């Protein structure tokens, strides 16, 4: 059975850092393969995981659209096939699997550019089916989302076990997190559990923020401290999954994962 953990938050709150720590924890403490899905076009999940990224799902979609246009003259696209008799679904399945960036304990799929108004609807639907089919082969799927969670709403399998909404330690950040969390009631997504994570906190949680969080329809899972070592990794470009187990950031995220994943 696959456990899906999705992260969401506005840009700049450190959501991708938390995603990397979640994946590090799973790789070190849980059995089974892990699939990371980078669904934020502005994210660089491959960099924090130390994986090369040659092309994205968006690139594959655009490549297929070009083939569809070329096949229209021969009637191939109209019959659901490309030149040579390959179906669009088979082509997408092959290309997406080939685009996987493979690590030791985790693999990565990057969604890349958004679907946009000019995309071919059947292609998008087939892509979603392919990615969901691949996901079912993994014990854990970790999805780094954009703030609007569009990728989650477009999945053909919309089950999410744990949604982690990440925010910075400010009132404005909490308002943004609350708006993101409210989307789970508006979108056709089946989310079993949703939590708030306050990132980059210096010291204890200030009383005004704690009071505001208690008013939210989103329980606080935990806080992640500010850590000077993180700046060194950011400056050098060193993958964040190489942070030591003694890192305060990793220890904080690992404790949260123990809390939600331990029966």
d(CA 84, CA 90): 12
Both tokens assigned to 118: 């000019």
- As for how many domains the chain has, the answer is 1
For residue 105, give both structure tokens.
């304990």
pTM of the model: 0.91
CA 14 from chain centre, in angstroms, equals: 13
pLDDT band at 263 (very low <50, low <70, confident <90, very high): confident
> Which residue range is the domain that position 28 belongs to?
3-261
Statement: residue 32 has pLDDT above 70:
yes
The number of residues making up the chain comes to: 263
CATH number for the domain including 141? 3.40.50.300
H runs (alpha helix) in the chain: 15-29, 45-49, 57-71, 88-99, 121-135, 150-154, 171-186, 207-214, 228-236, 248-261
Across the range 151-173, mean pLDDT stands at 88
- Residue 253: predicted pLDDT: 98
């Amino acid at each position: 059975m696959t456990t899906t953990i999705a992260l969401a938050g506005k840009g700049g709150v450190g959501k991708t850092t938390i995603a990397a720590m979640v994946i590090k924890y799973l790789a070190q403490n849980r059995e089974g393969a892990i699939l990371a899905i980078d669904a934020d076009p502005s994210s660089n999940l491959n960099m924090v995981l130390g994986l090369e990224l040659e092309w994205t799902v968006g690139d594959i979609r655009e490549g297929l659209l070009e083939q569809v246009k070329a096949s229209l003259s021969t009637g191939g696209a109209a019959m659901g096939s490309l030149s040579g008799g390959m179906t669009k679904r088979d082509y997408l399945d092959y290309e997406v699997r080939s685009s996987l960036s493979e690590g030791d304990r985790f693999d990565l799929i990057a969604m890349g550019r958004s679907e946009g108004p000019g995309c071919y609807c059947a292609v998008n639907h087939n892509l979603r089916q392919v990615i969901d089919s691949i996901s079912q082969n993994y014990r854990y799927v970790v999805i780094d989302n954009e703030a609007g969670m569009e990728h989650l709403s477009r999945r053909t399998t919309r089950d999410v076990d744990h949604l982690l909404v990440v925010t910075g330690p400010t009132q404005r950040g909490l308002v943004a997190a609350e708006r993101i969390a409210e989307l789970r009631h508006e979108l056709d997504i089946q989310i079993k559990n949703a939590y708030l994570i306050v990132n980059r906190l210096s010291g204890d949680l200030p009383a005004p923020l704690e009071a505001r969080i208690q008013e939210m329809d989103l329980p606080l899972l935990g806080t992640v401290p500010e850590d000077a070592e993180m700046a060194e990794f950011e400056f050098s470009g060193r993958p964040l999954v190489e942070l030591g187990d003694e890192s305060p950031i990793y220890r904080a995220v690992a404790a949260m994962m123990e809390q939600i994943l331990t029966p």
